Amino acid sequence: MEYKDYYKILGVKKDASQDDIKRAYRKLSRKYHPDVSKEKDAEQQFKEVGEAYEVLKDPEKRAAYDQLGSGWRTGQDFRPPPDWQQGFSFGGGGFTQGDAGGFSDFFESLFGGGRGSSRGFRQGRTSFHMRGEDIHARISIDLQDSFHGATRTLTLSVPEVTDEGVMKSREKNLQVKIPKGITEGQQIRLQGQGGAPLGDGKPGDLYLEISFRPHPYYRVDGKDLYLNLPVAPWEAALGAKVKVPTPEGVVDLQIPAESTSGRKLRLKGRGLPGKSAGDLYVVLQIALPPASSKKAKDLYRKMERELAFNPRAALGV
């Protein structure tokens, strides 16, 4: 069936006030009333205007209609979303324009009810159930929050339907428990903390996707951590035991002799905690002493003379 843009039918914007909608309806219903209008398709236009007003004048129906989003446009085929819940109760007795006939299949697919030119629909309050929208947000935490767990207070902007049926946002403070061992990209689900429901429906859920704030030492990859560790040339060449910082304290690390820059040394189980803890990979970075004194320069010249070393030999030059 064809999707109907009720705002376009009434000639109003989507954020129009209820007064604007009422004024537009009155103007168009006078223009297209079959008893006075000379328009060729007056009766059909009159019905569409009445149907559009039936939805947009009611805050709950309007909010439900707005939640369809922008996925459909006028003229496109329409199918109600799979989770759309109908529970409307209408009686007989003529609708907004009395004898103008029933509403469209599009209206019925959303709000239910019978059809027929003699029966129509009765104006009145609807009673229905529609679950609130799930909300997805991204939060940044410190690496230590994953190592030890934490509780954080978050301030979020969440959508809310006003009494006039308009979607607005409001600030909401939440206490969020960060579980120990959580990794980047994982989600925390807060049940019932999402979008507000319509009618007697249930609130949606809030999903918080985790990201880590940049750390001055460590890079995170899944449950593993990477640390660039500066070492002196003689520590790499001769081997040495050095101190290495980890998120849970300083440990000793044995550097094998003849290590080169970029070599990775693994500290098992020193990554993010969990049933299967991650590892900490120490990446060696050879740091050269500055040639900022006469003694340092003399040592570099002595190495140049006495060591047959060509760092570009592997390149054939």
Q: What is the pLDDT of residues 217-236, one digit of tens each?
A: 999 999 999 999 999 999 99
Q: What's the chain's average pLDDT? A: 81
Task: Give mean pLDDT, residues 285-312.
Answer: 93
Residues paired with residue 210 on neighbouring β-strands, in sequence order: 139
Q: For the domain 6-130, what is the CATH code?
A: 1.10.287.110
Q: Are 282 and 259 in contact (CB under 8 A)?
A: no
Distances (CA, A) of 219 to 150, 181, 215, 238: 20, 16, 7, 28
Burial of 47 by CB count in 10 Å (0-12 exposed, 13-18 middle, 19+ buried)? buried
The mean per-residue pLDDT over the stretch 29-35 comes to: 82
The residues of the chain that CATH labels 1.10.287.110 are 6-130
Q: How large is the average pLDDT for residues 151-173?
A: 73
* Third-level CATH fold of 135-212: HSP40/DNAj peptide-binding domain (2.60.260)
Closest CA to 137 of 172, 182, 181: 172
Gap between the Cα atoms of 139 and 145, Å rounded: 12
How many Å apart are CA 131 and CA 203, to the nearest integer?
6
Lowest model confidence (mean pLDDT) among 94-103, 142-151, 172-181, 228-237: 94-103
Residue with tokens 């328009």: 39
**pLDDT band, residue 163 (cuts 50/70/90):** low
CATH label, 218-292, candidates 2.60.260.20, 3.20.20.80, 3.40.50.10490, 4.10.320.10: 2.60.260.20
Cα separation, 211 vs 189, whole angstroms: 15
The set of residues, in sequence order, having a beta carbon less than 8 Å from that of 175 and lying 6+ positions away, is 151, 152, 153
Residue 185 to residue 135: CA distance in whole angstroms: 16
Phi-psi group of 47: left, alpha or beta (phi > 0 → left; psi -120 to 50 → alpha; rest → beta): alpha
Share of the chain above pLDDT 70, in %: 77
* Cβ partners under 8 Å of residue 156, min gap 6: 135, 137, 171, 172, 174, 206
Under 8 Å between Cβ of 64 and 128: yes
Residue 61 confidence (pLDDT) above 60? yes
Q: Helices (DSSP H) in 81-209: which residue ranges?
A: 105-111, 143-148
178 and 71 Cβ atoms separated by less than 8 Å: no
DSSP code for 213: P
236, 260 Cβ separation under 8 angstroms: yes
Please determine, for residue 98, whether its predicted confidence score (pLDDT) is greater than 50. Answer: no
What stretch(es) of the chain map to CATH 2.60.260.20? Answer: 135-212, 218-292
More confident residue, 279 or 111: 279
At residue 201, does pLDDT exceed 60?
yes
**Could you tell me if 29 and 49 are in contact, meaning their C-beta atoms sit under 8 angstroms apart?**
yes
